[in-house]
Amino acid sequence: MENMPQLGVGTFRLEDDTARKSVLDALKIGFRHIDTAQIYGNEEQVGDAIQTNGIDREDFFLTTKVWFERFGNKSFIESVHESLAKLKTDYVDLLLIHWPSPDDKVPMEEYLTSLAQAKAEGLTRHIGISNFTIAQMEQAVEILGEGEIYTNQIELHPFMQNRKVAERAHELGMSVTAYMPFAVGKVMKSETLNTIAEQHNASPAQVTLAWIKEKGYYTIPSSTNADHLQDNFDFEKVKLSPEDMELIDNLDNGDRIVDPDFGPEWD
């Protein structure tokens, strides 16, 4: 699939049969964008689901991410081949750097060159980054050239809208993919989002997804529940008013959920 579908399904924290079933359910519902990563330990289950579903390879978009322990020159491409073997496919549609190298242990030039090599060798159709700060995005574009980086996948939800990073990403010619769009369930508890949802006869999750799309971002919510997956898939029935958008914009309070000790200095 040439372009990444705006709505995908994430598999973070999904293990074993749960991961396989979630992806199978998602494909059955109509999702055509599946996101995984080496560190999730579920590439094999994702591959099983895709095979079981019997969907043609060119009819869905598949993303995986290289973990920083595999950034060394020799290890990088080797790790991509391992991922492809687990996913039971010859290529992914998008290969991401999962996190910038902690403390620049491996120079960015080195691992981004390997990333570009994976694309040149046909192991992936697009390349991108994840959890990069503004300075790191700028550095990455300097190394790879403009138009090469497909997306920066970042934590983004109504309570942490990451506006500066999102804006700069777009200026640098890359899309923004929002992970954890529901802020691990916090959107379901938000009074504002529940009120808007009631007005639209929708769920707070659907309202959040409509807001993300309106902002021009991609997103990859995950769920182990087929009904929730269906609910997410049907979000486009929600048409938010400018007033709704403004109310959601005002929920931003910098509430960052993903902040590991190896993470970069956030903007």
Active site residues: 40
218: which residues sit within 8 A by CB, 6+ positions away? 4, 5, 6, 7, 8, 151, 175, 176, 177, 178
Q: Which residues of 91-108 are buried (b: 16+ CB within 10 A; e: fewer)?
A: bbbbbbbbbbbeeeebeb
Contact at 8 Å (CB) between 150 and 170?
A: no
Contact at 8 Å (CB) between 19 and 45?
A: yes
**Beta-ladder partners of 152:** 129, 176
Q: Residues annotated in the binding site, as ranges?
A: 98
Contact at 8 Å (CB) between 178 and 218?
A: yes
Look at the chain and count its residues.
Answer: 267
Q: Residues annotated in the binding site for substrate, as ranges?
A: 98
